[in-house]
Amino acid sequence: MTALPRALSPLQHAHYRRLAASLALSLLGHGLWAVAVVWQVVALGGGPAALSLVTALAAGGMLVSTLVGGALADRLPQGHILLGVTLTEGVTIAVVAVLSLTGVLALGHVAAVGLVGGIAMGFYYPAYSALVPVLVPPGDFLAVNGLEGVVRPVLAQAAGPAVAGFLVAAISPGAALAAAAAAAFGAAACVTTLPVREAPATHAGARSAVAGLLADVGEGFRYMVQTPWLLATLLFAATMLLAFIGPFEVLVPFAIQAAGGGPSQHAYVLAAFGIGGAIGSLGVASLRLPRRYLTVMNLLWGAGCIPLVVFGFTTDLWLMLAAGAVMGATFQAGMVIWGTLLQRRVPAELLGRVSSLDFFVSLSFMPLSMALAGPVSELIGLTATFVVGGLAPAVLAVVTIVVARMPADELSHPLDVVPEVPSGPLAEERLDRV
């Protein structure tokens, strides 16, 4: 993420490099945590239901905080928010790592840190999403989103899981947790180098501040409801993840275990997902935005769930790797389009709140999916659960495109023409909000 678009000014270039370094370390930490927490739960004697509890608490915590996080991202210096999130993650994960390495860790500790980490993430994503357009001109949105679309899966879904799988197999889950904590502290160190202007002093009371935040959240909701393409896409994403994310996050490790695999094989599948995501991101970013960007994006996500079915019918690792790579490619290709779409069509003053609503609505069923994955698989079996999780989203994608009349909308609002924006002192002034 250091090879930045040439349109950036020297000041923008320096700030974005620091932000990118922080994001890279944060993503690496999340990839480490994703594998470490699975095998830490297994080491504590937990099964699918226990892992469902931990992951559901993390997802629920994120939903609880993300709306407030979006309002704050449009009000406060985003650098402060990112610093608070990364420090919180570093401290809490470090505590769990120490408890694990000393042999006194309990499932309740892991669940509590998952909840805290989820709450922190609810603040991170809106702040980061609102900060990028401050540093990057519109003409470079697709390039930057594509670049981040490469780095995100490589670190969070390939390198991080691979390192965690090695550490778990060679040492213990506690060692992988310690590495995740170190990555979070590194991310915090990078954020501290970003320039921050103090927020203006205010004499409003706590009640007025709360009322203002609620009003900001309400404004974001009104924009979402009045914007058909946005509302329809978020509702589709919510139902898609209800069907897909629980089986993928909770049940895939146990399908791998049933096939004779362990932490390393789980890491390989996640790495395949990440590598596929990097390839998909590069493919989209190297081209112009598709003319039918809404249709293509939703079909990529819906059809991208179909390979999940493979995990219900095979014990061959290479087939699981191939399925993971295809899912990663389609998901990340759609995400590059989605990020550029939000930055191009959502007003800048609402981007933090819309990004938080993106999290809140699209991930609203994720805790339920995580919580149900284990019990449902015990009721109907792993194979049937994977079939439903893989096929239902493809049907939902087609229904969403037709009902929301996306083909007409995307033709009326083309994104393959980049608007001209002023540069120079005006662009530099936007950095004050960092």
Question: Alpha-carbon distance 157 to 159, whole Å?
Answer: 6
Query: Across residues 370-379, what is the average pLDDT?
Result: 83
CB 199 within 8 A of CB 360: no
CB 81 within 8 A of CB 90: no
Give 135-176 pLDDT, tens digit per residue: 666 666 666 667 676 777 777 777 888 888 888 888 888 899
User: Which residues have CB under 8 Å from 60's CB, separation 6+?
Assistant: 115, 118, 367
CB 7 within 8 A of CB 426: no
CB 39 within 8 A of CB 263: yes
Q: What is the SS3 assignment for 434?
A: coil
Greater confidence, 366 or 34?
34
Question: Alpha-carbon distance 27 to 180, whole Å?
Answer: 10
Greater confidence, 356 or 189?
189
User: Which residues have CB under 8 Å from 196's CB, separation 6+?
Assistant: 77, 79, 80, 434
CB 255 within 8 A of CB 387: no
Question: Alpha-carbon distance 212 to 206, whole Å?
Answer: 10
Position 311 scores a pLDDT of 92
Nearest to 126 by CA among 76, 87, 187, 89: 76
CB 367 within 8 A of CB 111: no
Tracing tokens 């892992």 back to the chain, one arrives at 51
In a domain, 1, yes or no: no
**Residue count (the chain):** 434
Q: Name the DSSP letter for residue 417.
A: S
Question: Alpha-carbon distance 33 to 83, whole Å?
Answer: 19
Per-residue confidence band for 38, with pLDDT thresholds at 50, 70 and 90: confident
Question: Alpha-carbon distance 69 to 352, whole Å?
Answer: 8
Position 403 scores a pLDDT of 92
Return mean pLDDT, the chain: 79
Work out whether the CA dihedral 267, 268, 269, 273 comes out positive or negative: positive
Q: What is the pTM of this model?
A: 0.68
Position 388 scores a pLDDT of 92
Give 279-328 pLDDT, tens digit per residue: 888 888 777 888 899 999 999 999 999 999 999 888 888 899 999 999 99
In a domain, 2, yes or no: no
Give 92-129 pLDDT, tens digit per residue: 999 989 998 888 888 888 888 888 888 888 888 777 77
Nearest to 369 by CA among 246, 239, 237: 246
Torsion angle (degrees, nearest 10) of CA 283, 264, 250, 68 = -60
Domain range holding 26? 10-197+213-417
- Per-residue burial over 155-164, b if 16 or more Cβ lie within 10 Å, else e, is bbbbbbbbbb
In a domain, 132, yes or no: yes
In a domain, 218, yes or no: yes
In a domain, 408, yes or no: yes
Residue 65, H or E segment: helix 48-73
In a domain, 90, yes or no: yes
Number of H helices, E strands in the chain: 18, 0
**CATH number of 344's domain:** 1.20.1250.20
Q: How many domains does the chain have?
A: 1
Per-residue confidence band for 431, with pLDDT thresholds at 50, 70 and 90: very low
Question: Alpha-carbon distance 139 to 267, whole Å?
Answer: 36
DSSP per-residue string spanning 336-404:
HHHHHHHHHHS-GGGHHHHHHHHHHHHTTTHHHHHHHHHHHHHHH-HHHHHHHHHHHHHHHHHHHHHHT
Question: Alpha-carbon distance 102 to 99, whole Å?
Answer: 5
In a domain, 427, yes or no: no
The pair of structure tokens assigned to 190 is: 């990078």
User: Which residues have CB under 8 Å from 63's CB, separation 6+?
Assistant: 118, 122, 359, 360, 363, 364, 366, 367
Query: Across residues 323-349, what is the average pLDDT?
Result: 86
Query: Across residues 381-399, what is the average pLDDT?
Result: 92
End-to-end CA distance of the chain: 19
Position 422 scores a pLDDT of 46
Q: How far is CA 156 from the centre of its chain?
A: 9
Position 210 scores a pLDDT of 61
Q: 179 pLDDT exceeds 70? A: yes
Per-residue confidence band for 208, with pLDDT thresholds at 50, 70 and 90: low
Q: 197 pLDDT exceeds 70? A: no
Tracing tokens 């670049």 back to the chain, one arrives at 147
Nearest to 357 by CA among 227, 220, 214: 220
CB 274 within 8 A of CB 328: yes
Work out whether the CA dihedral 310, 311, 314, 319 comes out positive or negative: positive
Query: Across residues 236-250, what is the average pLDDT?
Result: 89
Query: Across residues 218-240, what is the average pLDDT?
Result: 88
Query: Across residues 59-66, what is the average pLDDT?
Result: 78
In a domain, 208, yes or no: no
Position 44 scores a pLDDT of 81
Position 323 scores a pLDDT of 93
